[in-house]
A and B are shown apart, each in its own frame.
Chain A
């Protein structure tokens, strides 16, 4: 326990200059190395997140909350969390920052680590790659180098195994966001593809000895029957929903592509027009020269032909990222199901 106190003390001291342990990452001169290699979560945090969603998050609303903990070398330890109220209609008199400050102050009184290290969010079938998430994670990561966002998927968890993932923005994306420049040129310069937007950080769960004792105690006392949902074969509903979401995204993507195509066509048409104009000009000038008249002045082409607006690239990047996530989820899911089907086959064969 004394060591935890030390941790809090030093974390509080170093949080004012976020270059403390994060200095290691930064000092490598932007080699693309991330400051956090592993996320260690206390069992308590997992239970709290599950409970928060279960009680307050039915439906397609996302629930969010704040993660507290500390940073140890290149490991981010998350030791506690508290939930954030949902945004309701009467949020005129609700001050988020004040709620957060009060909560953290109170938690400090009871010796809970009050260093903000990230936030968590629940997700609906894996659809979390949105602009809002990007913005929030950017502001968090900008202020605190090592922050992560934990994505908890309750539906997948209900199917048998805890689904918790930690994401950070890649340093490249951080650079771009810092410039606040989302134009295609900047993105191309940064060489950002949809696969390099978020990076996943591996998670481990750690418990203290006393919590282990508690777990043994619970196991003895509660003896809840195992439901084995993981082995259930009746999961076509889940697959169907996933595919539906994927299809929606692909539709959006195709619209995006259409926009891009029109843009390309417009640019090339414009080029042609410019070319033609130039040629006409030249011809006229030659004619005039042959007649001995002064040539017409060269006009500024860019004023005549305004270049069309290139479509925003950030959105399509996000959509691509989301499609990627969906595909990953679907592949995991089908792998599991194939395994289960083969087991069922073995069982049947034995029966006959």
Chain B
């Protein structure tokens, strides 16, 4: 069983290379207004508005967005023949079963990573970007890991260290060989022109990459998390533009993850954002307190219904009924015996554990004589 290599050499070595950092990342600067990429490309201003109910099929969205002037303004210039559906185009980057309504399932660890790398960004950088890793399913894409990629962005050009991205991906692959590059993320509120370019880089790595934005600047007082897929749009036969279509974002949790998140969430309530791990009985106490809260909410609802403040809802009523019936009706004597035997088991086990502990302590003493 391998254990992480002793850091003796590692710790001595790491400060040394600190002095001699790697040469400037081999990046690919590209002058920004590439005529090829767009007639007034997608996103000078806002990202595609989330509430548009349409994670419809990409072609529809293309058509729809072109027609709906108002909130989207995704393609300000779409002079177009909105009606021409994009399907007729020989779209180069539309492989794979990508019906609209594709769902992106995120794990909380991704978001925490993104926020953390945002907090550690270089001076002067407005946002950070990175790669998303995960698995692809028929109907959904599950993002399970991510790492940030250094990049430089200025008014005119954007440079992304793709070499770094490849290296990191190789390293990650050693640990989890099932993860594929799914796309990339960026912090920040808008999709900018540079995003289009970066998206293009990533489409070389993955078929139809997804783009995730996490709004760390907390516009509108919320940290909005959105995902997009790029689609072609525009007049067929002319220069094609790129538009970002929104996808539904769902949050996936493993059971243990949810428990972890619940615990971590408690730091929101403590003054210096620090919490300790609680002991056994405290946890039971905490869990029962939660159930108590839930029960009091339910009770409040029941009272409101009875006093006529809230109209009765049959489905809720049925749930309440099943809730009350879940407490099993056991003959009291039987229950007594069950309870007692269980308690006896537990007490016996405790006694044996204590006995064992005193035995080994005794053994220590004897051996050391």
Contact = CB atoms under 8 A, between A and B. Distances in A.
Contact of B120 (A4, A100, A326): A4
Interface in B250-271: 251, 253-261, 263-265, 267-268
Contact of A341 (B148, B174, B273, B339): B339
Contacts of B22: 105, 109
A110 B117 contact: yes
B121 A345 contact: no
Contacts of B342: 337, 341
B109 A104 contact: no
Contact of A100 (B5, B109, B122, B167): B5
Contacts of A136: 3-4, 6
Contact of B327 (A43, A227, A347): A347
Contacts of B273: 206-209, 212
Contact of A203 (B8, B17, B276): B276
Interface stretch (B77-85, B96-104, B312-320, B361-369): B361-369
B264 A194 contact: no
Contacts of B285: 339
B108 interface: yes
Interface stretch (B87-95, B218-226, B237-245): B218-226
B263 A205 contact: yes
Given A203-B277, A337-B346, A46 B6 contact: no
Contacts of A313: 367
A40 B274 contact: yes
A336 B175 contact: no
Of A4, A65, A228, the most chain B CB neighbours within 10 A belong to A228
A323 B360 contact: yes
A337 B284 CA distance: 9
B238 to A, nearest CB: 40
Contact of B283 (A121, A160, A227, A324): A160
B4 A188 contact: no
Interface residues of B, number: 108
A62 B1 CA distance: 9
B288 A250 contact: no
A320 B254 CA distance: 35
Contacts of B156: none
Contacts of B255: 158, 227, 229
Interface string B111-141: 1110111111110000010000000000000
A139 B15 contact: no
A108 B144 CA distance: 22
A79 B109 CA distance: 14
Nearest to A195: B361
A45 B124 CA distance: 27
B115 A327 contact: no
Nearest to A332: B280
Nearest to A232: B287
A311 to B, nearest CB: 10
Given A54-B254, A161-B278, A205-B263, A246 B11 contact: no
B32 interface: no
A85 B175 contact: yes
Nearest to B173: A85
A161 B122 contact: no
Interface string A10-24: 001101101000000
A43 B277 contact: no
A280 B107 CA distance: 82
Interface in B315-335: 327, 329-330, 332, 335
Contact of A84 (B4, B216, B253, B275): B4
Interface stretch (B35-43, B62-70, B228-236, B349-357): B349-357
Contacts of B343: 338, 341
A84 B175 CA distance: 6
Given A86-B2, A162-B263, 6 more contacts: A43-B112, A101-B13, A102-B167, A218-B111, A313-B367, A334-B350
The 6 closest A-B pairs by CB, nearest first: A139-B6, A43-B264, A136-B3, A47-B109, A222-B251, A111-B120
Interface of B: 1-18, 22, 25, 107-109, 111-113, 115-122, 128, 144-145, 147-150, 161, 164, 167-168, 171, 174-176, 216, 218, 222-223, 225, 251, 253-261, 263-265, 267-268, 273-281, 283-285, 287-288, 290-291, 294, 327, 329-330, 332, 335, 339, 342-343, 346-347, 349-350, 353-354, 356-357, 360-361, 363-364, 367-368
27 contacts: A12-B18, A43-B112, A44-B113, A51-B145, A51-B257, A64-B4, A85-B175, A105-B22, A110-B150, A111-B117, A112-B117, A139-B8, A142-B8, A158-B255, A158-B256, A158-B259, A184-B367, A205-B264, A208-B116, A213-B218, A218-B111, A228-B291, A253-B360, A253-B363, A327-B353, A327-B356, A331-B353
Interface of A: 1, 4-5, 12-13, 15-16, 18, 40, 42-44, 46-48, 50-56, 62, 64-66, 79-80, 83-87, 91, 94, 96-97, 99-106, 108-112, 114-116, 119, 121, 132-133, 135-136, 139-140, 142-144, 147, 154, 157-158, 160-162, 164, 184, 188, 193-195, 202-219, 221-222, 224, 226-231, 239, 243, 246, 250, 253, 257, 260, 313, 316, 320, 323-324, 326-327, 330-341, 343-345, 347-348, 351-352
